[in-house]
Structure 1
Amino acid sequence: MRPQKILDTDMIAGLTKVFRDKGYEGASLNELAEVTGLKKASLYHRFPNGKQEMAESVLNNIDEWVDDNIFSHLLNEKKTANLRLKDALKNIEVLYDSGKETCVLRAFSMHSGLSLFEQQIKSGMDKWIAAFNGLGISLKLTSTQSQQNAIQTLIELQGSLIVTKGLADTSIFKNTLKNIEKRYSKE
């Protein structure tokens, strides 16, 4: 068996970039092949179910990264709630490159992507809400307050990414992270 010339991590990073930039529908097989450094035949060899399998791999990769680098911090009860939040927010900033990157859930929620990935998108959003809800509960918020804060946090994160991109101003995203920290720090 020949060694792989393209590392899986590099390939997934390339696919992620194209899907974030173009969405599911807008990502062409030519662009996906070009960004991975593979010919279309080799790309299909790695992903026999085509573009949908590539997108699922991207979603799974980001889901694992978010679990390891954001949710694990928010839910780690060995640390203070403020430290958990600071660590998670720092990694949220990394995930979205200070607001320059589009959320992949948003990129896949357009047109046919929504019908193909609806369950994964819902599951991803549910996990975000559950992690911030857990933080709120550990801060002794009522279950209603905690749930409302968690949903508001998700809305602000997603909304700020759109506004940041539209106005080409990363300070919007950074200020949103500060506001989220203030909201939970007041509690």
Structure 2
Amino acid sequence: KKLYEICCCTAGGKNLGIGGFCCPAGDKVTSLRIAIRLRTPGHGPSADEWGAHTLRDFDHCMKIMIHEISHIVHGNHSAAFYELMEELTVQYDKYRKTGLVLDKQNMPIVGGQKADSGRHNLSLNEARMTALKAAEARARASSIMGGGGQVGGGGSWRNATPAEMAARAASARQRQWDVENGLDNAELEAMAAND
């Protein structure tokens, strides 16, 4: 349901070999999130000299996307996974050659939505205002939903259904995985602000 960019800057130079990852929803149809590395990774003082942070070729990013989409249906790298990946690659190549799904800038136009230019490359002031609005929205939601404020008491979990508690636990595990695999709090908060 969400697509994110993996950046080498916020991960502190960790996991530079990862091109993307997928968190399938488990229904073999949807994904909770897909993250793709759109830029050449690099870390350190000489990184920019060899092209770090430059956008990767569109076809390279699409191949990673096809790989991650295949994980939605087949979680592991099985024969069926590679068959689906090959089928999607052939379909993509066919559409790319015939031009059926590309606009004037060679971007896909069927399904989905294009990136909102107002949400990318913000000025520092615009980014601060966006972060402020997100913080205010979180504060409003917190005041409506309430919070215990004391250890072991007043938590909203007391009235939650088992399904809600399971969803909260899954969300907490996902956030922990993100942190352990190179996505730090600043990047996670930026993702949450764009939701």
Q: Give the TM-score, by structure 2 length.
A: 0.24
Structure scoring higher RCO (CA < 8 A, sep ≥ 6) equals 1
Structure possessing the higher radius of gyration over alpha carbons? 2
Q: Which has the higher helix share?
A: 1
TM-score by length of 1: 0.25
